[in-house]
Structure 1
């Protein structure tokens, strides 16, 4: 069954439209999205449970839902650090 916008939001919470579209276009199932979210939000805990590493589709979803190292983690109230 194809993921819907509501499925994605129910797992990830508020997400931008581009990310939602990319997740839906991946062809992933709801279970794969849930697994990707679990890995993205606590991979050390899953590894300590002896879970196998995620498969290719789940790994691609993890890349889509994890924040970028560069700008996504900045707190909006702090403003742009490059502005003077």
Structure 2
């Protein structure tokens, strides 16, 4: 497994605050796990529907961090 780097995170996510990058790096996730977490979030249907197991461990931690980041970046929309 390839160690995840700051540059990979910023390249994938764009401008992101250092706290978020630090949280991602603190998971100890590999580049491959980071790609899996991003793919899980980008997929319209949960990968479990395609026979993949539920996300767990570092991938699940990354998903939580990325979901939080995504929700913070979404503008509040009032109906």
Q: Which TM-score band (shorter chain)?
A: 0.7 to 0.9
Q: 2:57: which partner in 1? A: 56
What 5-or-longer segments of structure 2 have no aligned partner?
A: none
Q: 1:41: which partner in 2? A: 42
Q: TM-score, normalising length from structure 2?
A: 0.75
Aligned residues: 75
Q: 2:12: which partner in 1? A: 11
Q: 2:24: which partner in 1? A: 23
SS at match of 1:44: coil
Task: Name the structure where helix makes up a greater proportion of residues.
Answer: 2
Higher-Rg member (1/2): 1
- Give every structure 1 segment of 4 or more consecutive aligned residues whose post-TM-superposition deviation is greater than 4 Å: none
Q: TM-score, normalising length from structure 1?
A: 0.71
The alignment's C-alpha RMSD in Å is: 2.3
What 5-or-longer segments of structure 1 have no aligned partner?
A: none
